[in-house]
Amino acid sequence: MNTLSRLLTALLVGAGIALAGFAVGQGLERFRMSDRSVTVKGLAEQAVESDFAIWTLGFRRAGAEFGAVQQALSGDRDQVVAFLKARGFTDEEIEARPLQVQDLYAREYAQANQPFRFNGTGQVLVKSARVADVEKAALAIDPLIQAGVQLGGENEGGRSGPRYQLRGFNDIKAPLLAEATRNAREQADKFAAEAGASLGPLKNANQGVIRITGDDGNDYDDGGSRTKRLRVVSTFEYELR
């Protein structure tokens, strides 16, 4: 190989090395730029009123004769239904459940010294979108108690108060998530400005889970609170330029 050939070969090898070095440099630059990002959390909270109520009025009777217990329960049920209709609730909003009478002596581990042989329970449910009316009625049950209706708690035929629901949740969900998104974008813009950069496109997003709690201080919604508090924390990752 003469001197000219060796010179041309050296030039070609050098150009190849330089080109490869340029490509590697560009790749590292793109990687470094793409790694510049900011992750922010957007918070949104809202207090809303329940739009549906379910109120279970449970009552109980005990006695030595089956027929007498059943008759007493039937009378209690009629009084409860009459009370609700007097408060303006319709037949469509009132559901009377079948009465139940249990023979305590017929149980496998029955005790012969039971004061009453028969124990009976009944339930009347109110299912209504008139939440305020249900709440008012639940605070005005003294006439039933004075009439001798033995209203029971959750373990004796039904809860002592209404359960409030938010059935229009989907109508509130979208605006709440939009507010969380706006909140996150504002934080990302502020961070980018302070860092001397500009905000790029969105890389990743996690809308989070909307948490519903009551307005009674509990960390969960047990249905007892008419006002619901909705809270969502969404996570977003933006590129920085």
Highest mean pLDDT among 22-36, 132-146, 186-200, 203-217: 132-146
Cα gap 110→98, rounded to integer Å: 25
Q: What is the mean pLDDT of the chain?
A: 84
Locate CATH 3.30.110 in the chain: 36-51+166-241
pLDDT of 17 strictly over 60: no
* CB 153, CB 224: distance < 8 Å: no
Confidence check: pLDDT of 4 > 70: no
- pLDDT the model gives residue 22: 43
Residue 31 clears pLDDT 50, i.e. is over it = no
Domain 36-51+166-241 has CATH 3.30.110: yes
Query: SS3 string of the chain?
Result: CCHHHHHHHHHHHHHHHHHHHHHHHHHHHHHHHHCCEEEEEEEEEEEEECCEEEEEEEEEEEECCHHHHHHHHHHHHHHHHHHHHHCCCCHHHEEECCCEEEEHHHCCCCCCCCCCCEEEEEEEEEEECCHHHHHHHHCCCHHHHHCCCCEECHHHCCCCCCEEECCCHHHHHHHHHHHHHHHHHHHHHHHHHHCCCCEEEEEEEECCCCEEEECCCCCCCCCCCCEEEEEEEEEEEEEEC
Cβ pair 89, 119 in contact under 8 A:
no
Kindly report the pTM of this predicted structure: 0.76
C-alpha distances out from residue 53 to 93, 119, 129, 167, Å: 10, 29, 6, 10
Where along the chain do the CATH 3.30.70.2970 domains lie? 52-165
State which CATH number among 3.30.70.2970, 3.50.30.60, 1.10.3210.10, 3.40.190.170 fits the domain covering 52-165. Answer: 3.30.70.2970
- Which of 95-104, 186-195, 229-238 is predicted least confidently? 186-195
Least confident of 21-25, 74-78, 83-87, 103-107: 21-25
For the stretch 66-89, pLDDT in tens is 999 999 999 999 999 999 999 999
Rounded mean pLDDT, 117-146: 96
